[in-house]
Amino acid sequence: PQVMRYQVLLALMLSSQTKDQVTSAAMLRLRRRGLTVDSVLQMDEETLGQIIYPVGFWRNKVKYIKQTTAILKQKYGGDIPSTVEELVQLPGVGPKMAHLAMHIAWDSVAGIAVDTHVHRISNRLKWVKKETKNPEETRVALEEWLPRDLWKEINWLLVGFGQQTCLPVHPRCSQCLNQDICPAAKKL
C-alpha cells in the first residue's frame, strides 16, 4: 500500500499540464525501473528527466519529485502524508493534487478536487454564488452547498465533461444535454 500511495502521488505530480496518455507512458517507464521512494532517491536527475520526458514542465517536475521523495523518506518513513495540509507542503503538490491523493491513496474525502474544468464549469453553470477567480475559491464555494457524499465524484464527472463538451473555448453547447438549464449556453 505504501508503494501504491507513492506512485499515486507521483502520477498526480506528473499529470499537471500533461495529457493523460503522456502521464501514463511516463509512469509505465518509471515502473519498469522499480518505482519506489528508494529507487527514485538513487536515480540522478538527468536519468529521471529522460524517463519522464515529455511530460509538461518536466525539468521542474524532476526537481519537485526528487525534493518530495527525500522529504517522504526523512519525515514520513517513505509513505505519503495522510492529510491535505501536509500534502500541500510538499514541493509541486497543490490543493487539487492533495485532494485527489486523499481520495485515491487514502480512500478519504477531505474536500473537492477542483481543477480548471471543475472551476470553469461550476462558474458557467452558476453553481457558485458569485463568480470565483481560481480553483481554490471554487472548491470552498462548492463545498458550502454540495452534499459531502458527492464530493468524491464531482471531479471525475466534470473533467470528462470539460474535455469533451464544455470546452474552454468554443464549448459544444448545441450537443450538450444541459443546454436548456445552462446560463452560459444562453449567452453563447
Q: Is 96 noted as a catalytic residue in this protein?
A: yes
- Annotated active-site residue in 19, 73, 96, 133: 96
2-15 and 95-106 are packed helices; what angle lies between their axes, rounded to 10 degrees? 150
73: nearest Cα among 168, 123, 1, 3: 3
As a whole number of angstroms, the longest Cα–Cα distance in the chain is 56
**Residue ranges of E strands in the chain:** none
Q: Which three cell numbers stand for residue 46?
A: 538527468
Q: How far is CA 37 from CA 30, 70, 79, 89, 99, in A?
A: 12, 8, 8, 18, 21
Rounded distance between C-alpha atoms, residue 107 and residue 120, angstroms: 26
Q: Which residues are catalytic?
A: 96
